Structure formats: structure tokens, C-alpha cells
């Protein structure tokens, strides 16, 4: 304590700040904490000074304390800030994937129920899983452009570093642009694939919100592009091939980036990449937006993942400019041609790397291996070129983009790959049948005045050609819906059953009906549905035109023309017209509304005039060389008809009973098998059956008729029919006052028994 008091007296004239500065170097071996608590002036108020040492954060740079020497990629991997996520990413469902989620929930519920109850639901689970896989396949094989945009932006989609660590044996991340900055939105580094060393660089998005903020959502600043430029010079100097990964909405467009020269940095990269003497491959793994993507995308080969997009402006931005609303983004995405297949058709992209069903995030490891295979194959091709060829190849790739020459027909291979509605030749084929339909209809109208042989020939050719095109469109729709293999298997099974003359098995019939229902449900989603619909409509119009033409031909036969001419002459004679007009006037004066209300004398007069006119018409037909047989019956008079009309309900009731009896007989197994066999024989025989097939068909028809007749004869329907016929006969005789022996005509009553009964 003496030393402390002495020190206090010596320093009584100094300030506290001077004291602390002197104490920071230590005084007489006394601890700083003890000095801080010492009294500075015993005469004044006591002042105590305490110093708190701040515990700094322990840096794990460049190595962590427990660095693993056997880590994949080597010890230098510890330099990367990219570490595995501690928590698994949450699943994200896109709007168009919601039907799949419903199916998946059903599968989970059934499995849970099976686990809780101990019952066997394996068949139901298998059926639901098959349905889920088919729905997944149908959905991801017919994605719209805006749906591909949403998949490319999926939060769980694997990033550049995910792919790099999956495909490389060793990878070392390199930082900084040597101008004082390191942009985390662009990552660069050296890695090896199958012993071959590459310079990797790419846009890096975050895997969660925290990483996205750190990586600026994959939007680079000028520092990132200058870092990439430095690594390009480095790779060119050492002869490393360059592989770039593109996944950015675009370059960061804030005020600071513009002040630091964002446009100049991108332009410098573009100019430099065209002069690099090493092979360059660019792979679009997500979305490639505008110049921000192109700044590391001037490569010899541009590859794209199946669901990736590459655009000059985002669909939302394009829709806001052209349609004044971002809601038109689906339409803008379709018009921009930003998907991998469309860019390959335009020769902007050079290849498509497949993704698993559900997108790259469904199986990142498999997607990475597909990228690795594509890099190896493409690099093998490029490494065969010398420096001059490599530079020329890169220059020509970009020089040919946007070049079109008029008057040159589209290549056959390209026509197959293009959408049918976009083909000029397709439009011609759609319009041409329409004009031909009109021409054929005009020819069919003119056929009445001239020979119709040529128009019928043209019509048949058109129908045959259109039938072939419809069959082709149906086969293309089957392929697009993924039903080709199942249809081929069913055809083979059906052909086998036909060749063995066997009945169609119920299981095969169910398969055919199930496939037919599935095809009909999904037909509207097929890419060529509109084309198929148009052709079916044309085929329908042509068929109606043909039917009309045939009907007109039948109606306008020479014999019928002569008969109509003779009838017109008879009915147009003055004496016949006078009789008709006089009779009509008498009926009008009588005031009767029906034939039954007329006077008997007037009824007889009407019957007499009717018989005279019939005789005149009969003589006219005989003059044409035709044999005429007049069927007359007193029971056919109107009075007889009035009496017979009382039996209509009974006849209707008997017909219903007969129909029910036929249906019950037809539902029997033996008769049903015969009917199925008859259908099979008719299908096998086709339009022109040979003698053997015709005999088989006739024999089967006879057997079916005999079975029906035997079954109906055994029932009381036959007795009911005979009894009803007797009642009708008695009523007709009593009402007409005729004797059956004196009746030289026939009265015919037809029922559903399949036979025509005549009573005389």
C-alpha cells in the first residue's frame, strides 16, 4: 500500500487520461486492475478506474482448429465459406404442382392408416403411387414457358457450389478482384474433374434468406465481374479450360454499382472472353438474365439444364413494358422464346442437359452427374481444336445468331423439332383442306347437271388423305402423352387374341377402356390438340358432303325422274284438279274437323276419288313398263284404323315385354360370348370379308337368332302375341263387316318378335 500512496502523491497533478495512457504500458510491475482501483488524490473525492478486456471473436481463418485433412476436395476446401446447411431446406410447392401434393397426401394417409390398423393396403398404395408417377410425368413433359421460369427460380434449386462440390474431386475457391473487393455473388476457383484441371466461375445464389442477403440474391456488382476477369486471365495464362455456371436475374443495378462502372465491367468481360485461347463452356443452371449472365457466358458451347431459362428481359419486365401489367407474364414468357428447347431451335444454345422429373431440386446429385457428363463430352470435342480454330469457332457461334435468309425452305429435321402451329407448311396444310372442302361441295352441287364421277373421286381422295393425317395426329398425341408403349403392348395382346380366334378377355377389355378414358381425358392438353381438332372438323364436313352427294345421286336416278314426271302429269290434269278442288270445297262446307265426323256419303265420295287417282297413277307406272300390285283392304279404312288404335297401348306393352325378354336372354353368358365372338369376326373381316369369314359370320348370326327364338318361344310371350293378334283380327272384321274369305288384301301387324304375321 505504501507504493500505491507514493504513486498517488507523485501523480497528483496529472489528469486521468494521462494516467491511463501511462498505465497502459505498466508501472513498477503493478497490475493494471490494481492501479485502476487506487486513489488518485487522497484529498479529493475517491475516483476508481476499471478497465474491461473485450473478448474478441475467435477467427477460423484460414484453418479451423479441427481441420479434417481427409475432407473431399483437400484441406484447401476449408478456405470456402460454403458449408453444408445445418437444417434441411423446407419443401416449396409451386402453384401448378398442387394436384401432385394432393396425391402425395393421400399416399401418406393410406400408409399411416395401414400402419395404425395393421391392415394390408399395398394394392391401394401401389395404385396411388402409379397414379402419382403418371401425373408427375404428364405434368413435367408438358410444361409451359412460365412454369419453367418458376422451376428455374425454385428456392431449393441446387446452386453453383452445390454442383461444383458434387462433380469435382478437388476444388479451391479463389477470392478478390485485387482492387480491394470480393463480391460473394460470383464465386471462382480451380477444381479437377477426372484428373483434368478447370477454372470454375459462376453466379452463386443463397440456399436460405440469410445466404441470399449475403450473396445479394446472385446479382453481381462490378467487383464480381472484375474478379471473374482476373480469373479468366489467370486461366488463359496457365492453360486451364474455363467452365462458367450462369444463374442470375441480372447484374445489380443500384446507384453504387453504376458509379463503379457496371456497364464497363460487363463490356470488358465480353471483349476479353472472345480473345481467350482456352476452351470455354457455359452452363445455364437456373435463370440467365440479360448482360449479367452474358458477362461470363461468351463461350464456345452454351449448355442449358432442361428447365433453365435464358432471356434479355424477365417475363414480368417484358409484360410490364408491352402489356402494361406484370400479370401478362405467361404470355410474355411464351413470346420471348426463353426455354432450352426453343433456344436450341434458334441455335443460341448448343445442348440440353436432362433433369429428373420434378426439377433439378428433386435429385441434385443426379443432375450434377449429368452436368459432369456433358462437361467431359463437350470438352473432349473442344480440346481437339487448336487455338485459331477455337477462336474462330467462338466468333462464328455468335455471328450466326439472328441471321435469317428468305426464300430457303425449312430443313426437314428442323420442321420435326418445331411446334406444328409455328410451321409455315403446317399452316398451309391446315388451310388447304378448307379450300378444298369448299371446292368439293361446289362440285357436288354441280353434279346434278353433269357427271359426278370426277367429284366423287376427288372427294374420296380428300377423305382418304385427311384420314391419314388424322391418324398421324392421333399417334403424335399418344406419343406426347407418354402412352405409346402401353398402346403398343395392348395392340400386340389384342392381335394375339385375334390370331388365336379367342374371345376378348375381361382383363384386356378393362385395359383398353382404361387407356381410352385416360387418352380422352388428356387429349385436350396434347400440343397438337388444336391441329387435330381442325382436321376432325374438316373430316366431318367432307363426310357430310359425301353423304349429301350420294343422297342426291340416289334421289336423282333416271327412273325416279320419269316416275315423278308421270305423277306430275296425272296430278296436273284439269279433270283431276277439278275433282280435287270440288271435294275440298265440300269438306270445308261440312264443317267437320276429322274424317270420322264426315257424313257417310262424303266419306264414300272421298274413297271413290282416292281410288280413281290411285288407278290413274297405277296406269302411269304401267306405261313405264313397271309391274304394279295394288294392296287394298277394307280394314285399312279410317274407321278400321280408329278401332285398331285401341290396341296401341297393348301392342306397346307387349313390345316392352319382348324387349326385356331379349335383353335378359342376351345377358346370358353363352349368348354374350357368341355376340362377342361375332363382333370379333366382323372386326377381323373388315369391309371386304372373304368366303370363310362370311360363312363364320352368317353361322354365328343364325346361332344367335335361334337362341333368342328358343328362349322367347319357351316363355309366355308367344301366347300373349297370338292372343293379341286374334283380338285385333276380330275387331277389324267386326268394324269393317268383311269376311276373311272375301278379303283379297292383307292386313299386317308388326311386333318385336322379329316375324311379320299375316291374317287373311
* Between residues 417 and 505, the one the model is more confident about: 505
The predicted pLDDT at position 376 comes to: 95
* Between residues 27 and 551, the one the model is more confident about: 551
Lowest mean pLDDT among 164-178, 197-211, 541-555: 541-555
Q: How many residues does the chain have?
A: 760
Q: Are 165 and 69 in contact (CB under 8 A)?
A: no
What one-character DSSP code corresponds to residue 637? S
Lowest mean pLDDT among 144-148, 494-498, 601-605: 494-498
CA dist 290 and 268 (Å) reads 16
CA dist 464 and 480 (Å) reads 25
Please report, rounded to a whole number, the percentage of residues in the chain having pLDDT higher than 70: 71
The predicted pLDDT at position 74 comes to: 62
* Between residues 606 and 101, the one the model is more confident about: 101
Mean pLDDT, rounded, for 98-104? 88
- 747 pLDDT band, cuts 50/70/90, is very low
Mean pLDDT, rounded, for 737-746? 40
Q: Tell whether the model's pLDDT for residue 645 goes beyond 50.
A: yes
Lowest mean pLDDT among 90-104, 381-395, 694-708: 694-708
- 22 pLDDT band, cuts 50/70/90, is very low
Lowest mean pLDDT among 497-506, 542-551, 691-700, 739-748: 739-748
Distance of CA 403 to CAs 316, 346, 396, 400, Å? Answer: 27, 10, 11, 6
Per-residue model confidence as pLDDT tens digits over 346-357: 889 999 999 998
The predicted pLDDT at position 301 comes to: 95
- 21 pLDDT band, cuts 50/70/90, is very low
The predicted pLDDT at position 726 comes to: 75
* CB burial readout 122-139, b (16+ within 10 A) else e: eeebeebeeebebebebb
- 633 pLDDT band, cuts 50/70/90, is very low
Mean pLDDT, rounded, for 482-492? 81
The predicted pLDDT at position 723 comes to: 77
Lowest mean pLDDT among 75-79, 272-276, 665-669: 75-79
Least Cα distance to 246 among 283, 275, 216 occurs for 283
Question: Structure pTM?
Answer: 0.49
Cell numbers that stand for 138 in this block:
404428364
* Between residues 359 and 731, the one the model is more confident about: 359
Q: Tell whether the model's pLDDT for residue 639 goes beyond 70.
A: no
* Between residues 203 and 420, the one the model is more confident about: 203
* Between residues 600 and 35, the one the model is more confident about: 600
Q: What Rg value do the Cα atoms of the chain yield, rounded?
A: 47
Element (H, E) at 517: helix 506-522
At residue 87, φ and ψ (nearest 5 deg) are -115, 145
The predicted pLDDT at position 191 comes to: 94
Mean pLDDT, rounded, for 387-416? 76
CA dist 36 and 7 (Å) reads 12
Q: Tell whether the model's pLDDT for residue 229 goes beyond 80.
A: yes
Report helix angle 424-446 to 453-480, nearest 10.
150
What one-character DSSP code corresponds to residue 688? S
Average predicted confidence (pLDDT) for the chain: 76
Largest CA distance in the chain: 167
Q: Tell whether the model's pLDDT for residue 696 goes beyond 70.
A: yes
The predicted pLDDT at position 338 comes to: 93
The predicted pLDDT at position 753 comes to: 45
Cell numbers that stand for 46 in this block:
475517491
Least Cα distance to 33 among 49, 22, 17 occurs for 49
- 412 pLDDT band, cuts 50/70/90, is low
Per-residue model confidence as pLDDT tens digits over 120-167: 888 888 888 888 888 888 888 889 999 999 999 999 999 999 999 999
The predicted pLDDT at position 754 comes to: 44
Please report, rounded to a whole number, the percentage of residues in the chain having pLDDT higher than 90: 29
Mean pLDDT, rounded, for 287-299? 92
Per-residue model confidence as pLDDT tens digits over 31-49: 444 444 444 455 555 566 6
* Between residues 663 and 131, the one the model is more confident about: 131
Residue by residue, DSSP assigns 235-280 as HHHHT--EEEEEEES----SHHHHHTTHHHHHHHHHHHHTT-SS-E
The predicted pLDDT at position 593 comes to: 63
Q: Tell whether the model's pLDDT for residue 333 goes beyond 70.
A: yes
Cis status of the peptide bond prior to 62, with omega within 30 of 0: yes
Amino acid at each position: 500500500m505504501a507504493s500505491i500512496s507514493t504513486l498517488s502523491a507523485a501523480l497528483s497533478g496529472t489528469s486521468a487520461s494521462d494516467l491511463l495512457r501511462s498505465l497502459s504500458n505498466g508501472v513498477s510491475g503493478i497490475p493494471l486492475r490494481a492501479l485502476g482501483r487506487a486513489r488518485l488524490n487522497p484529498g479529493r473525492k475517491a475516483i476508481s478506474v476499471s478497465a474491461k478486456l473485450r473478448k474478441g471473436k475467435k477467427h477460423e481463418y484460414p484453418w479451423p482448429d479441427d481441420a479434417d485433412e481427409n475432407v473431399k476436395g483437400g484441406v484447401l476446401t476449408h478456405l470456402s465459406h460454403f458449408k453444408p446447411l445445418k437444417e434441411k431446406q423446407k419443401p416449396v410447392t409451386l402453384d401448378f404442382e398442387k394436384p401432385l401434393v394432393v396425391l402425395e397426401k393421400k399416399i401418406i394417409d393410406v400408409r399411416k392408416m395401414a400402419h395404425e390398423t395393421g391392415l394390408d393396403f399395398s394394392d391401394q398404395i401401389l395404385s396411388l403411387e402409379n397414379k402419382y408417377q403418371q401425373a408427375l410425368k404428364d405434368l413435367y413433359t408438358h410444361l409451359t414457358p412460365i412454369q419453367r421460369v418458376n422451376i428455374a427460380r425454385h428456392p431449393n434449386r441446387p446452386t453453383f457450389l452445390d454442383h461444383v462440390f458434387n462433380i469435382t474431386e478437388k476444388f479451391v475457391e479463389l477470392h478478390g478482384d485485387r482492387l480491394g473487393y470480393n463480391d460473394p455473388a460470383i464465386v471462382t476457383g480451380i477444381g479437377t474433374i477426372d484428373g483434368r484441371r478447370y477454372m470454375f466461375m459462376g453466379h452463386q445464389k443463397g440456399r436460405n434468406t440469410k445466404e441470399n442477403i449475403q450473396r445479394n440474391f446472385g446479382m453481381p456488382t462490378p467487383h464480381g465481374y472484375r474478379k471473374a476477369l482476373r480469373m479468366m486471365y489467370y486461366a488463359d495464362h496457365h492453360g486451364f479450360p474455363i467452365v462458367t455456371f450462369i444463374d442470375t436475374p441480372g447484374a445489380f443495378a443500384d446507384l453504387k454499382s453504376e458509379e463503379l462502372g457496371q456497364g464497363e465491367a460487363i463490356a470488358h468481360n465480353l471483349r476479353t472472353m472472345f480473345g481467350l485461347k482456352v476452351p470455354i463452356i457455359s452452363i445455364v443452371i437456373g435463370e440467365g438474365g440479360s448482360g449479367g449472365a452474358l458477362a461470363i457466358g461468351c463461350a464456345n458451347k452454351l449448355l442449358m439444364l432442361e428447365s433453365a431459362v435464358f432471356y434479355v428481359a424477365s417475363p414480368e419486365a417484358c409484360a410490364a413494358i408491352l402489356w402494361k401489367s406484370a400479370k401478362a407474364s405467361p404470355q410474355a414468357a411464351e413470346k420471348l422464346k426463353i426455354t432450352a428447347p426453343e433456344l436450341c431451335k434458334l441455335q443460341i444454345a448448343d445442348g440440353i442437359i436432362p433433369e429428373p422429373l420434378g426439377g433439378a431440386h428433386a435429385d441434385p446429385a443426379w443432375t450434377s452427374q449429368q452436368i459432369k457428363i456433358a462437361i467431359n463430352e463437350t470438352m473432349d470435342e473442344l480440346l481437339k481444336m487448336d487455338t485459331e480454330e477455337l477462336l474462330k469457332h467462338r466468333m462464328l457461334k455468335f455471328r450466326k445468331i439472328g441471321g435469317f435468309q428468305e426464300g430457303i425452305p425449312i430443313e426437314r429435321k428442323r420442321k420435326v423439332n418445331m411446334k406444328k402451329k409455328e410451321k409455315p407448311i403446317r399452316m398451309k396444310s391446315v388451310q388447304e383442306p378448307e379450300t378444298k372442302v369448299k371446292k368439293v361441295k361446289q362440285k357436288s352441287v354441280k353434279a346434278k347437271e353433269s357427271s359426278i364421277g370426277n367429284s366423287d373421286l376427288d372427294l374420296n381422295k380428300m377423305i382418304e388423305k385427311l384420314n391419314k393425317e388424322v391418324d398421324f395426329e392421333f399417334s403424335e398425341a399418344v406419343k406426347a402423352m407418354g402412352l405409346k408403349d402401353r398402346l403398343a403392348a395392348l395392340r400386340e395382346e389384342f392381335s394375339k387374341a385375334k390370331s388365336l380366334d379367342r374371345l376378348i378377355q375381361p382383363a384386356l377389355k378393362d385395359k383398353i377402356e382404361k387407356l381410352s378414358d385416360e387418352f380422352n381425358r388428356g387429349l385436350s392438353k396434347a400440343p397438337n390438340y388444336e391441329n387435330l381438332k381442325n382436321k376432325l372438323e374438316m373430316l366431318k364436313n367432307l363426310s357430310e358432303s359425301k353423304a349429301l352427294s350420294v343422297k342426291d345421286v340416289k334421289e336423282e336416278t333416271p327412273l325416279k325422274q320419269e316416275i315423278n314426271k308421270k305423277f306430275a302429269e296425272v296430278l296436273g290434269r284439269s279433270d283431276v284438279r277439278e275433282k280435287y278442288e270440288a271435294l275440298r270445297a265440300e269438306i270445308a262446307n261440312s264443317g267437320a274437323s276429322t274424317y270420322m265426323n264426315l257424313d257417310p256419303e262424303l266419306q264414300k265420295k272421298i274413297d271413290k276419288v282416292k281410288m280413281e287417282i290411285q288407278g290413274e297413277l297405277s296406269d302411269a307406272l304401267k306405261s313405264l313398263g313397271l309391274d304394279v300390285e295394288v294392296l287394298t283392304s277394307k280394314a285399312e279404312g279410317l274407321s278400321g284404323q280408329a278401332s285398331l288404335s285401341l290396341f296401341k297401348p297393348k301392342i306397346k306393352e307387349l313390345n316392352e315385354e319382348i324387349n326385356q325378354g331379349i335383353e335378359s336372354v342376351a345377358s346370358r353368358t353363352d349368348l354374350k360370348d357368341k355376340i362377342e365372338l361375332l363382333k370379333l369376326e366382323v372386326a377381323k373381316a373388315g369391309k371386304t370379308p372373304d368366303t370363310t369369314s362370311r360363312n363364320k359370320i352368317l353361322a354365328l348370326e343364325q346361332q344367335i337368332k335361334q337362341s333368342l327364338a328358343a328362349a322367347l318361344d319357351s316363355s309366355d310371350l308367344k301366347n300373349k302375341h297370338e292372343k293379341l293378334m286374334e283380338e285385333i283380327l276380330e275387331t277389324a272384321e267386326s268394324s269393317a263387316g268383311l269376311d276373311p274369305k272375301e278379303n283379297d288384301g292383307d292386313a299386317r301387324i308388326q311386333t318385336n318378335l322379329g316375324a311379320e304375321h299375316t291374317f287373311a
